[in-house]
Amino acid sequence: MGMYKYIKEMWKKPKENMPDLMNERLIAWRQEPVTVRIEYPTRLDKARELGYKAIQGVFIVRQRVDKGGRMRPTIRKARRPKTQRQKKILSLNYQTIAEARANRKYENCVVLNSYWVGEDGKHKWYEVIFVDPMHPEVKSRDYLKWTSNPSSGNRAIRGLTSAAKKGRGLMNKGKGTEKHRPSLRSHHRTH
């Protein structure tokens, strides 16, 4: 087995395979700000799988997202009844929210992809891979040239990353040629 295969095996069950290391990391991450730019990816195998290269213009950001039902808190002050009800803020998965929040912090960069790195009772952490589309190193690479196209901006906010597509039921992995558009629900109704 190569190095990446060993790393992948360790990350299948991180709390069993490396409990002390994960505990130390989570304790340290809780003290950090919500969005932190980091030098190296925590999961090298996953980062490389999703398009990360150790070149200038490509960097990683660790984003923290709060867990929970994502409901608005109850309003304790005087309001009319219409605004009193609790609504779910978003029907997005945590990974998509993490990508969008990180993208708002680094607006001039393009989100390539993201992956899970840890969670505790209150938070989830994702590492988001960013590409600076104006960097000469990025422009010289054929597989990253597409990021300099203006239409590739705000991919995370527009729901074009793989996490967002998966959340919307557009990634038909293992489903054969089954139709997934316009939505799973409407497809189910027609058959």
On the question of pLDDT at 86 being above 60, the answer is yes
* Percent over 70 (pLDDT), the chain: 83
The pLDDT value given to residue 125: 97
Convert the pLDDT of each residue in 4-15 to its tens digit: 999 999 999 999
Residue 152 binned pLDDT confidence (cut-offs 50, 70, 90) = confident
On the question of pLDDT at 176 being above 60, the answer is no
From the number of C-beta atoms within 10 Å of its C-beta (0-12, 13-18, 19+), residue 114 rates as: buried
Q: What is the mean pLDDT of the chain?
A: 86
Name the domain count of the chain.
1
Convert the pLDDT of each residue in 163-172 to its tens digit: 988 887 777 6
Q: Is 62 helix (H, G, I), strand (E, B) or coil?
A: strand
How far out from the chain centre does Cα 108 lie?
17
CATH number of the domain to which 135 belongs: 3.40.1120.10
How would you label 56-92 residue by residue, b for 16+ Cβ within 10 Å and e otherwise? ebbbbbbbbbeeeeeeeeeeeeeeeeeeeeeeeeeeb
Tell me the H-state helices in 13-160. Answer: 14-17, 19-31, 44-49, 94-105, 136-140
Give the length of the chain.
191
Q: Give the predicted TM-score (pTM) of the model.
A: 0.81
Residue numbers of the domain that contains 97: 3-171+178-190
Bridge partners of 60, per DSSP, are 38, 129
